[in-house]
Amino acid sequence: MAVEERYLPDVEAILSHRHDQGADYWTTPDNRLLKGSPFSAYHSAQMLLELGVPPYDPALQGVAELFFSCWREDGQFKLYPGGSGFPCQTAYAAKLLCQLGHAGDPRVGKTLAHLMATRHSDGGWRCKKFFFGRGPETECSNPMPTLTALNAFRYAGQSDDPALNSAVEFLLEHWVIRAPIGPCHYGMGTRFMQVEYPFYDYNLFPWVHGLSFYEYAREDKRFLEAFEALKDKLVDGQILVERVVPKLAKLEFCKKGQPSELATRRYREILQNLGMDG
């Protein structure tokens, strides 16, 4: 998919932030690849892909090389120079590299194997850093990293692996629990139910979109309830952006309070996955 002419200013706006943090490709001199959101290396690459910039574009492949430079022999990625690596960082890196055409790289294969082998007892992914203290809820996995990891596996063509069903089940059960869970306290409140675009945080739209690629979810009543909740928000068959990161407010493809054609394309992918595109 090529960038449509009307979105070229959005691409230029994102590219204009490429050196904001003191190094190339939206990062810092010491390669903090998640720093500077929404114009971090990770999120900038995500937005360019969403706008139709091809994965082989030199800027995007430059980002890919940065991520590969943070790969460890055990398959983990450490996206900050200090401290420990976390499952969320590895999941983000795996997802992006698969999107950029590197799903067949042996390093990515080792990373996916590492993720598969390091799931928490509830099927998801969980770090051991407790920002909000400890409690029964922090014994659960973190929903957002779990969703990100599932997206990595489906971009790698592995969404039919039954070993991932437990991770899907964990997210489906969160639809029932709703309360903040995991060490990072991801919940399903008012903000979760607002349609945010582009996909940035843990909320209804990317939740339904990501799980729609998994057969285990598609026929489950919890998923279908969430899908209906998203469907109810359509305006004339289009996705209306209810929430956007403030720094992206001036971009054409994601204006708050307006229908978004690119967001609607993502919604149509859900319909296709459900066999409802006709």
Q: For 24-62, how does the pLDDT look when each residue is reduced to its tens digit (9 = 90+)?
A: 999 999 999 999 999 999 999 999 999 999 999 999 999
pLDDT (mean) for 257-265 = 97
For residue 230, what are the contacts with CB-CB under 8 A and spacing of at least 6? 195, 204, 205, 208, 267, 270
Sign of CA dihedral 153, 154, 156, 162: positive
Q: Report d(CA 99, CA 135) in Å as an integer.
A: 36
> How high is the pLDDT of residue 133?
63
Quick: pLDDT tens for 69-94. 999 999 999 988 876 678 999 999 99
* Statement: residue 232 has pLDDT above 90: yes
> How high is the pLDDT of residue 130?
57
Q: Label residue 269 by pLDDT band (50, 70, 90).
A: very high
Q: Label residue 135 by pLDDT band (50, 70, 90).
A: confident
Residue type, 140: C
246-268: b (≥16 Cβ within 10 Å) or e: eebeebbbbebeeebebbbebbe
* Statement: residue 273 has pLDDT above 60: yes
Closest by alpha carbon to 227, among 247, 248, 204, 243? 204
More confident of the two residues 79 and 19: 19
pLDDT (mean) for 174-190 = 95
Q: Report d(CA 162, CA 191) in Å as an integer.
A: 31
What is the pLDDT of the chain when averaged over all its residues?
95
* Statement: residue 102 has pLDDT above 90: yes
> How high is the pLDDT of residue 1?
61
* C-alpha neighbours within 13 Å on the C-beta side of residue 234: 14
Would you state the structure tokens that stand for residue 197, as one six-digit string? 């675009």
Would you state the structure tokens that stand for residue 246, as one six-digit string? 């403030």
Q: Report d(CA 99, CA 46) in Å as an integer.
A: 9
Would you state the structure tokens that stand for residue 105, as one six-digit string? 């790289």
> How high is the pLDDT of residue 2?
85
Q: Label residue 105 by pLDDT band (50, 70, 90).
A: very high
> How high is the pLDDT of residue 86?
86
3-class state of residue 181 by DSSP:
strand
Sign of CA dihedral 51, 53, 54, 57: negative
